[in-house]
Amino acid sequence: MHLYFSNAKRLTPIACWYNLSMTNAPFTYELLATDATTGARAGVFHTPHGDIPTPMFMPVGTQATVKALDPDDLHAMPAPVILSNTYHLALRPGPEVIAQAGGLHRFMAWDGAILTDSGGFQVFSLGPQRTVDDDGVTFRSLHDGSIHRFTPERVIEIEEMLGADIIMPLDECLALPATADDLRRALDRTHRWLERAVAAKRRPDQALFGIVQGGTDPALRREGARFVGSLGLPGVALGGLSVGEDKPSMYATVATTTPHCPADRPRYLMGVGSPEDLWECVARGIDLFDCVLPARVARHGGLYTPAGRVSIKGAKWRDHHAPLDPTCDCATCRRFTAAYLHHLHRVGELLWHRLATTHNLHFILRQMRVMRAAILDGTFADKLGAFREAYRPASTERAAAQRAKFAQQRGG
């Protein structure tokens, strides 16, 4: 086991590997440093498909592909881990097809690490087209209307066929605000489902994380974190956030929860990925993130810059014959001008999606590298202050309108 002694802003390992008994496989977490004035942490999560330096953002490849990109694009960023979705892959092409291909890594020609979500959030977003009971979830496919059933055991069975490195159990995710009774019911049900998932898991080369629910209720979040931590799983995830609450409430909930998560395991905040949320939640002790946002806003004309998100649709970019962000070293900014990107988006060329997604994911991953380096050299608080001063987040009203628009587009 790793033991650590405090040395101002660093935690120094003084013993051997921490190897979690639940995995019987090379999943180990090495905590390298913490920030002296915030909860920010830097570490490494070792997996069979490579090391994941933390904090880290995981690009989302819902359908076994990060939209518009191929594995070489992702390696060039670099992205050591990506996320795929059990719900979507269970419907199309089906887990049997992927298992016959040799698993998700071979199916999508990706040799890095993969995390598969259970699909709990996607089922929640189906609204009246799904029914939740104590045994599991019954839902109707948006593709062909067929009826499907997810139980904790079935989700683990599907994820073992998919073969990702990190797998998530079925949980119950509620929209916020929610009543105290509903939050308690969802928390208890998620805990019972997690116990069933642990009992059903067979593959030793996959790391099962537990999910903490509880809405924005501090007591429920503390209870959930302690329960998940007591099971000895190799990681802890915070679910049920960025589902209707405001940002201050989300940040407060993260700050309430992380001190009750095991310090010797990675902490994963599910479905959160705007630049300001990444910085603020790393400061509150989160190690891993995922979100469709960088690729989604790219498809709709949004591009990240150090000063905030801009829309390439603006007429001011038509004659801007220079990179959109002269400080950016992504493949898009090195080769193409903002005027060209404006043209591509305006005429609907497919190349726009590739170039914009490349830029946004590179921007996010670069932010993660800046954060990690600052934690390691003891300057994180200064860098956080500089980010807050320079970056202008999208307005809360605009963000809420966009979430509603995207939800309507996906039918959820």
* Per-residue model confidence as pLDDT tens digits over 180-199: 999 999 999 999 999 999 99
What's residue 7's pLDDT?
30
Q: Is the pLDDT of residue 85 over 60?
A: yes
Q: Which amino acid is at 405?
A: K
328 and 256 co-located in one domain = no
What's residue 206's pLDDT?
98
User: Model confidence over 161-172: pLDDT tens digits?
Assistant: 999 999 999 999
Tell me which of 3 and 382 has the higher pLDDT. Answer: 382
282 and 232 co-located in one domain = yes
For the ranges 63-67, 122-126, 209-213, the lowest mean pLDDT is seen at 122-126
What's residue 197's pLDDT?
98
What's residue 405's pLDDT?
52
Residue 356, in any domain of the structure: yes
Query: Binning pLDDT at 50, 70 and 90, where does residue 400 land?
Result: low
Domain end residue (candidates: 267, 291, 315): 291
What's residue 369's pLDDT?
98
282 and 144 co-located in one domain = yes
Query: Binning pLDDT at 50, 70 and 90, where does residue 265 land?
Result: very high
304 and 203 co-located in one domain = no
What's residue 38's pLDDT?
98
Query: Binning pLDDT at 50, 70 and 90, where does residue 20 land?
Result: very low
Number of domains in the chain: 2
78 and 152 co-located in one domain = yes
pTM over 0.85: yes
Sign of CA dihedral 176, 178, 184, 189: negative
75 and 170 co-located in one domain = yes
Q: Is the pLDDT of residue 275 over 90?
A: yes
Q: How far apart are CA 409 and CA 254, in angstroms?
A: 29
Question: For 261-270, what is the mean pLDDT?
Answer: 98
Q: Is the pLDDT of residue 1 over 80?
A: no
What's residue 121's pLDDT?
81
Question: For 24-45, what is the mean pLDDT?
Answer: 92
Q: Is the pLDDT of residue 24 over 90?
A: no
Residue 8, in any domain of the structure: no
User: Model confidence over 357-398: pLDDT tens digits?
Assistant: 999 999 999 999 999 999 999 999 999 999 999 999 997 666
278 and 328 co-located in one domain = no
Which CATH number belongs to the domain containing residue 263 in this structure?
3.20.20.105
DSSP state of 197: H
Helices then strands, counting H and E runs in the chain, come out as: 16, 19
Question: For 265-294, what is the mean pLDDT?
Answer: 98
Give the helix ranges, DSSP H, for 41-83.
71-76
The residues facing 288 across adjacent strands are: 56, 268
What's residue 253's pLDDT?
98
What's residue 401's pLDDT?
63
Contact 266, 20 (CB under 8 A): no
Q: Is the pLDDT of residue 309 over 90?
A: yes
Q: Is the pLDDT of residue 239 over 60?
A: yes
Q: Is the pLDDT of residue 256 over 60?
A: yes
Question: For 108-122, what is the mean pLDDT?
Answer: 93
Question: For 48-63, what is the mean pLDDT?
Answer: 97
Q: Which domain holds residue 314?
A: 297-396
276 and 309 co-located in one domain = no
278 and 341 co-located in one domain = no
Average pLDDT of the chain, as a whole number: 91
303 and 287 co-located in one domain = no
Phi, psi for 163 (deg, rounded to 5): 85, 25
What's residue 5's pLDDT?
25
Q: How far apart are CA 287 and CA 223, in angstroms?
A: 20
Q: Catalytic site residues?
A: 117, 290
**CA 316, 294, 90: angle at the middle one, nearest 5?**
145
269 and 385 co-located in one domain = no
Residue 6, in any domain of the structure: no
User: Model confidence over 314-367: pLDDT tens digits?
Assistant: 999 999 999 999 999 999 999 999 999 999 999 999 999 999 999 999 999 999
What's residue 16's pLDDT?
25
Domain end residue (candidates: 260, 291, 322): 291
Q: Is the pLDDT of residue 4 over 70?
A: no
166 and 204 co-located in one domain = yes
What's residue 120's pLDDT?
78
Q: Is the pLDDT of residue 411 over 70?
A: no
**Which is it for strands 56-58 and 81-85: parallel, antiparallel or unpaired?**
unpaired
